[in-house]
Amino acid sequence: MTSAGWDRARAPALLLSLALVLGPAAAHADSPSAAPDEAAVRALVARWLEAQNRGDFAAYRRLYAPSFHGIRRSGGRTVVLDHDGWLRDRERMFKKPMKVTATDVGVAPAGALARATFVQEFSSGTYADRGRKEIDVAIIGGAPAIAREELLESAPLSAKRKAAAPEEPQCPLAKAQPLTGTFRGEPGWFVIGETSSDADAIAARAQKLEAAGTEVHVIATDMFQGLKQGLFAIVYGAFATRAEAQARVQSLQAQKIQAYARESGPRRSDRRLVQIRGVAARNGTPGPWPLQISVDDGGEGQLTPAPNGQFALWIDTVGLLSIENLAPVPKEHDMRAPAEVCIRLAASTRGRIDVGTLDTTTWLCGR
């Protein structure tokens, strides 16, 4: 199918930026008692670095206050995460060896907190970047804890500047085929149907339309400057002129489908959109098994395929992309071998990429 549902609450990294909402009850639960001194802040930063470089996620998560929020900037995207969202995002990063360094560390008072600023270099696999970071530290329950973390900016490092990291097998370069249909990821006059902030609702509607034989695509409106931001939209096609788009609107109205023509404006990113397609299955049976999508800058999201297991995702990332089938283990089984694919997207990649069938295997190990 040509529609995809992202779990917006769990997965903003690839397509969205979330607005942070902190309730007063959460803030009160771990209110700071006093600003930490410089020695305590520097010791905390040292433990923070050590946990990441050692791959010790349990030690890493203990450093964060319950009311923590973080802001991450990478690859031209800005993502705002609360405590649980941040740790979910980082836990996946801990599955691969990484190296993190901090230089030019400075500590200064910041109201009831203390703020550490430094230049961070991060590398994992084939990805590496460098940027300025801030960490705000509070005293919670008598101990220093990270209350806020923000990557102010980052830039990819060239191969010569990458921090040393264990070598990993290179994912193959994606092989793309030319796109068919009336939408090819390019700006133009869009024919737009329903829009909503509820990605699952839009995906479900798109699945029904496509099952009835109508070409549809689900996109995040954040991708194009001329569209209202923060929504998901059903797109019935993109055309070079308004007249062509209006003709498509009229043909849809004849089918009792409401739509309108809108000029998309240019893309917000200079990267090309590509379409990733495939089928999710468990033990040979296609179905709407949840998929975990991640890119090598730490961005991640969840995708819900159609009932027949087919999925499609429009994405503008460059670098490594992995898709893992998270099909659950049936009650009568006790083991699972997940299916995962990893591909490398070049800046010049365009078109449709078919990753095939991701078939998770489950079985009874025996007792």
Sign, CA torsion 280/281/286/287: negative
| pLDDT bracket for residue 32 (50, 70, 90) | low
The DSSP code sequence of 260-272 is EEEE--SBSSSSP
Helix (H) / strand (E) element for 208: namely: helix 199-211
Residue 136 in tokens: 């705000």
Q: Which helix (H) or strand (E) holds 50?
A: helix 38-54
Task: Give the C-alpha separation, 322 to 47, whole Å.
Answer: 30
- 142-181 pLDDT, tens digit per residue, is 899 999 999 888 777 764 444 444 444 568 899 999 988 8
Q: Which has more confidence, 62 or 168? A: 62
The beta-strand segments (E) located in 228-273 are 232-239, 260-263
Q: What confidence score (pLDDT) does residue 317 get?
A: 81
Backbone φ/ψ region at 149: left (φ over 0), alpha (ψ -120 to 50), beta:
beta
Tell me the mean pLDDT in the region 118-144: 89
Question: Are 40 and 46 contacting, i.e. CB atoms less than 8 angstroms apart?
Answer: no
H or E segment at 136? strand 127-140
Instruction: Compute the distance between CA of residue 212 and CA of residue 265 in angstroms, rounded to an integer.
Output: 30
What is the predicted pLDDT for the residue at 188? 96
Indicate the pLDDT class of residue 331, thresholds 50, 70 and 90: confident
Find the largest Cα–Cα distance for the chain. 71
Q: What are the boundaries of each domain within the chain?
A: 5-10+174-363, 31-156
pLDDT of the residue at 203: 85
Chain-centroid distance of CA 44 in Å reads 28
- Tokens 């836990």 sit on residue: 91
Give bridge partners of residue 314 from the DSSP assignment: 275
**What is the pLDDT, as a whole number, of residue 167?**
45
For the domain spanning 31-156, the CATH number is: 3.10.450.50
Question: Counting beta carbons within 10 angstroms of the beta carbon of residue 111, is it exposed (0 to 12), middle (13 to 18) or buried (19 or more)?
Answer: exposed
Cα separation of 110 and 38, whole Å? 12
Dig out the tokens for 314 from the structure: 């429009």
- The answer to whether 5-10+174-363 and 31-156 have equal CATH topology is no
H-helix or E-strand spanning residue 253: helix 242-254
Helix (H, G, I), strand (E, B) or coil at 103: strand
Distance, in Å, from the CA atom of 83 to the CA atom of 158, rounded to the nearest integer, reads: 32
Helix, strand and coil content of the chain, in percent to the nearest 5, comes to 20, 40, 40
What is residue 365's predicted lDDT score, i.e. its pLDDT?
63
Task: Provide the CATH number for the domain formed by 5-10+174-363 in this structure.
Answer: 2.60.40.10
